[in-house]
Amino acid sequence: MTTPTNEVVADLVSKLDSNLHEAFDERASIREFDGGLTRELAECLALLDVIRQYPKEVLSLLA
């Protein structure tokens, strides 16, 4: 698992369980390599993807 480059994203991602962190890493990599985005932007959008796809799980970890 990688540590995100953005401080805010890194803080939120550090609270995710291993399955959600893996989903985050996968989405960030796809956006970066296939989408041509910068790593920082790819990570921000990947975090939003994970929150949108697993809202209850993410919110329970952040509470």
Q: Is residue 48 part of a domain?
A: yes
The domain of 12 spans 7-62
* Beta strand segments in 1-63, E: none
Q: Is residue 1 part of a domain?
A: no
Distances (CA, A) of 45 to 29, 32, 40: 11, 10, 9
| Predicted local distance difference test score (pLDDT) of residue 39 | 96
Contact 22, 11 (CB under 8 A): no
Q: Is residue 49 part of a domain?
A: yes
What is the number of domains present in the chain? 1
| Predicted local distance difference test score (pLDDT) of residue 63 | 75
Q: Is residue 2 part of a domain?
A: no
Q: Is pLDDT at 7 greater than 80 in this prediction?
A: yes
pLDDT tens profile 23-61: 999 999 999 999 999 999 999 999 999 999 999 999 898
